[in-house]
Amino acid sequence: MNGMNKAVVGAVFGIALIYSVLSLMLTVQELLDTGIVTLMLFAPNGDALGIDLAEYLSPITGLYPDLIDTITGLISSDPEMVKNISLALVIVGFVLSAAGMATKPSLEVAGTENPAEYMWTHRPKATAKALGAPWGLLTACYRKHKALVILPIILLPLYIPWSIMMTLAMVIPFAIVKGVTSVRMRSAAKKERKDYESSTHYAVCPKCKRNFERPKIRCKCGLELDYPVPNVYGIKKHTCNNGHPIPCVSGKRSELRTICPYCGSDIETREAIPISIAMVGAVGSGKTTLMLASVKSITQMGRTRDVSVEAVTPGISKNAVAAKDVVAKSAPGELDSECMFIRSRTLQDREIIFNDISGQEYEAKENKILFEEFFTYSDGIIFTFDPIALKRQGRGATPTEVFESFHYMYTQINGISPSKVNSVPMAVVATKNDVMNPKLKDEDVRQFLIDNGQNGFVKVLESLFSNVRYFAVNSTGDDCVSAAKPVWWIVGESDQELYKAVPIE
């Protein structure tokens, strides 16, 4: 049980116990003075410290002294002896009630679906379990063995009045603690949700590429827990079932080990806002090189503004970027997404995700893999073509063919009609501008396509995508900032703050 729970349980049980102990002391006093069992309730009034319950509730409370009398009568008739036995029975009854509070059902807080400790006041059936604590021996014995419950039932008459008293004494403190906790929890949860919605929204898994609102997290002991937000498991921190603290305050949560709730892969989300970019284009049209060149340029330009870029997947690591001019053909089939984080002192963390697959996947073939995950959550699409190959009418799929293939997958996956106009930013990029002669300017690219037999492509593309922009870039060599332009344009379309933070010109 975590510290916060201990404090709360201590307070609630403590108040009930102190009150009952005071009543017990009065009862014992009365017994020692008069030799008669009289159930006293601590309630200072005038000169007296307590009231004799029998005066108020005699039919019920009268049973208790009667019972004790009967038992002692069976054992002895010596008045002194009777007194001692009565005393022992009263104390035993009290102890049986108090012992109930220490049983498992009264204290258990372990979570089952989410292996984190509940807040004691907010575990399932919290009120019943708390107020039932002085009766805990019944549940504890029943859980051990059904037949065993007979024992606390037989003893029930001895502790009934004490258990009632403790339960009643607990009502107010429990209600207060629960009420206060609920209010704090709700306002913390509301604030957290608002922050999260205004910043992160969701996270993306680079392995299975699904998106989800929150990742799961893995405690150092291996337990997989729900993402910690202020809820019934805690307000400022959660505690795993093995007792390890897990912060749920936004700054501290970025240290947590996050995992994908679908495929269980270790992923990094850092509560960063993700921007997903899909790379589309024929084999050899320069998708992978463009991606790497843009990472290089964004990193370089970021440095001038105190914005740091950290690539976390191997495909866009420092080494991969350094070797960008000799990149290998991307392997066909599913590939992991590439992720990088962008951070600065003034900016909430951002994450840029590239979905780059082999151009072979855009070639016409039967039983196409749809690459569901690659195209479901795109904030933008970069459509590359090699202008030299197009001019020479060399081998490889033309933009028309690639687009047809891509658009088929895209509409199939997103369940949209093939004629629906899409507002996702679409950057059409002529690559390898360094070897073009004459060089293309951004504004020439559209006409270049038309002049090279792609009139149909331009028409169809512009009728299906409402936000199209053309770029001419070169991705090789040291000066490859043009490769970052289409990426940064897409960024700007969904995130002006980040767009302005790094000058890509």
**Binder to ligand GTP among 40, 98, 327, 382 (CB under 6 A)?**
327
Decide: 452 and 396 in contact? Cβ < 8 Å: no
61 is a contact residue toward ligand GTP (CB under 6 A): no
Shortest distance in whole angstroms from residue 125 CB to Zn ion: 25
Give residues 324-353 in contact with Mg ion (rule: CB under 5 A): 330
User: By 3-state DSSP, what share of the chain in percent is helix, strand and coil, each rounded to 5?
Assistant: 50, 15, 30
Residue (157 or 332) nearer to ligand GTP, CB: 332
260 is a contact residue toward Zn ion (CB under 5 A): yes
Query: Which one of 44-52, 111-119, 138-146, 286-294 is the stretch in contact with ligand GTP (CB under 6 A)?
Result: 286-294
**Binder to ligand GTP among 230, 281, 380, 486 (CB under 6 A)?**
281
How many residues of this chain interact with Mg ion, rule: CB under 5 A? 3
Decide: 270 and 208 in contact? Cβ < 8 Å: no
The total number of residues written for the chain in this structure: 505
| DSSP category for residue 458 | H
Give residues 190-209 in contact with Zn ion (rule: CB under 5 A): 205, 207-208
**Binder to ligand GTP among 75, 102, 172, 435 (CB under 6 A)?**
435
Decide: 433 and 474 in contact? Cβ < 8 Å: yes
Residue (53 or 279) nearer to Mg ion, CB: 279
Closest CA to 119 of 235, 230, 232: 232
Which of Mg ion, ligand GTP, Zn ion, none sits in contact with 283, Cβ below 5 to 8 A by type? ligand GTP
Q: Which amino acid is at 225?
A: L
Residue (200 or 288) nearer to Mg ion, CB: 288
Taking the CA of residue 1 as centre, how many other CA atoms within 13 Å lie in the half-sphere pointing to its CB? Answer: 18
Query: 160 is written with which tokens?
Result: 């009934």
**Binder to ligand GTP among 287, 296, 446, 485 (CB under 6 A)?**
287
**Binder to ligand GTP among 29, 250, 358, 467 (CB under 6 A)?**
358
Closest CA to 464 of 414, 396, 429: 414
Give residues 192-231 in contact with ligand GTP (rule: CB under 6 A): none
| DSSP category for residue 123 | S
Which of Mg ion, ligand GTP, Zn ion, none sits in contact with 289, Cβ below 5 to 8 A by type? ligand GTP
Signed CA dihedral, 406, 410, 412, 413: sign only: positive
Closest CA to 431 of 461, 489, 487, 476: 476
* Measured CA distances, 111 to 75, 124, 125, 471 (Å): 48, 9, 13, 54
242 is a contact residue toward Zn ion (CB under 5 A): yes
Q: Which helix (H) or strand (E) holds 2?
A: none
Per-residue mark of binding to ligand GTP, 436-455 (x: CB under 6 A): --------------------
396 is a contact residue toward ligand GTP (CB under 6 A): no
| Ramachandran category for residue 196: left, alpha or beta (phi over 0 → left; psi -120 to 50 → alpha) | alpha
**Binder to ligand GTP among 286, 396, 399, 425 (CB under 6 A)?**
286
Question: What is d(CA 285, CA 407) in angstroms, rounded to the nearest whole number?
Answer: 18
SS3 assignment, position 266: strand
Residue (209 or 287) nearer to ligand GTP, CB: 287
Query: Which one of 33-41, 258-266, 288-296, 312-320 is the stretch in contact with Mg ion (CB under 5 A)?
Result: 288-296
Residue (92 or 323) nearer to Mg ion, CB: 323
Residue (5 or 289) nearer to ligand GTP, CB: 289
Per-residue mark of binding to ligand GTP, 456-475 (x: CB under 6 A): ------------------xx
Give residues 353-382 in contact with Zn ion (rule: CB under 5 A): none
Burial letters 23-62, b for 16+ CB under 10 A, else e: bbebbbebbeeeeebbbbbbeeeeeebbbbbbeeeeeebe
Q: Which residues of this chain interact with ligand GTP, rule CB under 6 A? A: 281, 283-289, 325, 327, 329-330, 358-359, 431-432, 434-435, 474-476
Q: Which residues of this chain interact with Zn ion, rule CB under 5 A? A: 205, 207-208, 219, 221, 240, 242, 244, 260, 262-263
